């Protein structure tokens, strides 16, 4: 059976070790898995010391870390701010990968959706007609419609190398999260 995790509700961290039935401690590393059981997806959390690898039926797993006590809670920046950021991030070669990842995140969260003219296939990127003719032949843009207001944004897809991932992950986290108001 093929699942797309974005289409299913996965519970938040239980804050308890599935094997040891104990609370996970502040700052403790843990592993979370999503397993298929009777056509349902269930999340389980394991302390690092209990982790022996993904159990049978695992659809996906990841490593996390419990927040430290006393640290301020971080929340995701509101969607309108993220859309504005997507618009304002330039298409420079340095900003392009970050802008592309932000666009993919907004697509996944259904803040934006693929846009198309009536005659176009909505999932087919449009040719960039702004650049010179030789570059335009090889350049495609992702056209996205902002669901809140119907406006459109064009984003240049790009390939992200392994060497860029750590830097981009840090930059994206800094852009996406802010301290919660008290």
The DSSP symbol for 50 reads G
Residues 109 and 38 in one domain: no
Residues 92 and 31 in one domain: no
Is 70 domain-assigned? no
Domain hosting residue 172, numbered range: 76-179
Give average pLDDT by consecutive 10-residue segment, the chain, 182 residues.
Answer: 51 89 93 84 92 89 84 78 86 80 90 74 47 51 92 90 84 76 56
* 37 lies in the same domain as 93: no
Residue 69's pLDDT is 75
pLDDT at 41: 80
- What is the pTM (predicted TM-score) of this model? 0.54
Same domain, 87 and 116: yes
Report the pLDDT value the prediction gives residue 7, as an integer from 0 to 100. 52
Q: What is the pLDDT of residue 8?
A: 57
d(CA 162, CA 167): 10
User: Which of 65, 91, 107 is the endpoint of a domain?
Assistant: 65
The pLDDT value recorded for residue 95 is 82
Query: Residue 103: helix, strand or coil by DSSP?
Result: helix
Can you give the pLDDT at residue 133?
A: 42
Number of domains the chain contains: 2
Number of neighbouring beta carbons within 10 Å of residue 102: 22
Strands (E), 38-162: 40-47, 58-65, 74-76, 112-114, 126-127, 140-146, 152-155
Q: Scanning the structure block, which residue is given the tokens 């003219």? A: 117
């Amino acid at each position: 059976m093929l699942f797309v995790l974005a289409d299913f509700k996965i519970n938040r961290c239980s804050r308890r070790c599935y094997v040891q039935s104990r609370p996970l401690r502040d700052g403790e590393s843990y592993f979370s898995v999503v397993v298929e059981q009777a056509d349902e997806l269930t999340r389980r959390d394991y302390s690092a010391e209990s982790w022996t690898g993904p159990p049978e039926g695992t659809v996906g797993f990841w490593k996390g870390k419990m927040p430290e006590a006393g640290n301020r809670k971080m929340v995701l920046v509101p969607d309108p701010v993220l859309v504005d950021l997507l618009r304002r991030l330039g298409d420079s070669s340095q900003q392009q990968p970050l802008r592309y990842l932000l666009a993919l995140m907004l697509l996944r969260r259904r803040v934006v959706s693929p846009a198309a003219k009536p005659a176009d296939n909505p999932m087919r990127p449009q040719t960039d007609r702004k650049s010179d003719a030789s570059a335009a032949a090889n350049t495609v843009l992702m056209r996205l419609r902002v669901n809140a207001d119907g406006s459109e944004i064009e984003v240049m897809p790009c390939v992200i190398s392994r060497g860029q991932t750590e830097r981009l992950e840090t930059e994206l986290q800094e852009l996406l999260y802010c301290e919660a108001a008290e």
